[in-house]
Amino acid sequence: MIKLVPQLINLFATLILMLSFAMISQRRIVSLINLFMLQGAALVAASILLGYATHQPDLYVSAAITLALKVILIPWLLHRVIRQLNVRWDVETLINIPTTMLVGIGLVIFSFSLALPISRLSSSMAGGSLGIALACVLLSFMMMITRSKAVPQVIGFLSMENGLIFAATTVTSGMPMIVEFGIALDVLVGVLILGVFMFQIREKFDSLDIHNLEKLKED
């Protein structure tokens, strides 16, 4: 079983990358939240497998935190927010989907080229997944800067954090639990603040388009 763990982790890493591509090409907010939830579930599975192979209980706690926040609580909060704000529209992108996918492919190639020397130095059985983790971070960042609505940008921020956690988990075989709890708390507080932020935008402008914030300069 342990011999199969690296292959299984690479399988979940590939799934996480494919979900990142699906997220940058997704136009509907409800589907975008569901894809983020699936990405969190894949991250949970990879953490559990790595914890089983390396006998590090910290990874089980990390998986439990990710499951509670990224798979259950945060998607539930986001679904509740979009129901209350009635924002089931198609997501507007600043560039078209084919161009976005081409740029995404370029980012993946760049990520693998950048991560290859570092992966060779890693002693972790999943050290080769660093390129995928870096690609997920860059794809999430691109999603944040190419969307004009607040909700997809929040999801992009959370997906970027998924990539960072995946990199720390696979390359270093875990991180200190105090860091894990600190990140989890920061993410939860960040989501709550962004939720209040979105309600204020909607109340002020009757829209969640962040370009409306430019009107504040004129007031």
DSSP of 77-146, one letter per residue? HHHHHHHHHT--SBPPBSS-HHHHHHHHHHHHHHHHHHHHHHHHH--STTGGGHHHHHHHHHHHHHHHHH
2 burial (CB, 10 Å; 0-12 / 13-18 / 19+) is exposed
- pLDDT (0 to 100) of residue 37: 93
For residue range 119-141, list pLDDT tens digits in order: 666 655 555 678 888 899 899 88
**Which of 84-93, 158-167, 194-203 has the least mean pLDDT?**
194-203
For residue range 65-81, list pLDDT tens digits in order: 888 888 988 888 888 87
Q: Assign 209 to helix, strand or coil.
A: strand
